[in-house]
Structure 1
Amino acid sequence: MLDYSTMDTPVGPFTVVVSRAGAVRAAGFTTEVRELMSLVHPVLLEPVRAVDRTVVDEPVLAYLDGDLTAIDAVPVEQHTAGEFMRHAWRVMRGIKPGAPVTYTAFAGLSGRPAAVRAAAAACARNPAALFTPCHRVLRTDGSLGGYRWGLGVKEWLLRHESGD
């Protein structure tokens, strides 16, 4: 059984789905649990139930209050058939707040400098927004690019992390 909760944030609702062990399986700026669960690989799917709070709500609240590293230690369970994407998600977790990188730089950090499209796909398919910080990856020209939860959310997160 997976637990989920939804909390209010300055940019709207944020829902997180966690395993019994407290690992994030899905997260995003939405109230739509079905939408989140559609991002989770089938091997990690389980029934979900609503709870008042999950074990990761406190780190999220601390992050929103300005402790930008509070979410770093939260475990994440992500799965995909491709080794590059699994590796890219691990690398993405190492991108520091306030230090966004471009898709090209992210591809290089992931060990495949020419795989810019694959790096972008890792961002687009990321089921654990915020914890696996795809919002910290930008277009080569420095513009925002896309974000599943809206460019306004991505922009707010980047401003929050830069201290603006």
Structure 2
Amino acid sequence: MSTRKLNAELKYNKWIIILSIIIPLAVAALFTVKLKDLGFNVEPLTFLPPIYATINGITAFVLLVAVWAIKNKKRQLHENLMKFAISLSVIFLVMYVAYHMTSDSAKFGGEGAIRSIYFFILITHIALSIVVIPFVLITYVRAITNNIQRHKKIARITFPLWLYVAVTGVIVYLMISPYYV
């Protein structure tokens, strides 16, 4: 690996660390803020969960097509799809936070084994959604700095993590959707 490529990659590390810490903390903080408690007269955005669940599903599909594209040497298509997947994730995040700032969280009402399954999926989904942030950012930086060998190496880890988060986001929504008020 050339020193130039490594230096190009290293200049982004500060931002990767900052974003990997700030995004989950901001989401956690904003999750606890209710706009109505701050005096804002806002309608609950209860229409958002099926939209952001659909965005998760589209993200999963885009990730799969992006892997197909790169395996078939369609580099520009792969690059465009990955940028689109990142954009979808940002849109999801904005909608997710907006929903939780205007609406009470739905409570899962299932019982028995399905309850355990739901919480296992939910907890792993949340934990990996935090873990995947630096992986996505590092993978992206390695691509834009043309450090392709290192990009491929981390992409092999990032892809299944990101795909899991996207797919389980849909599953969590489908499991809790009967309990939305």
TM-score normalised over the length of structure 1:
0.26
Higher percent of residues as strand: 1
Answer with 1 or 2: which has the greater Rg.
2
Which structure would you say has the larger RCO, counting Cα contacts within 8 Å and 6 or more residues apart? 2
Larger relative helix fraction: 2
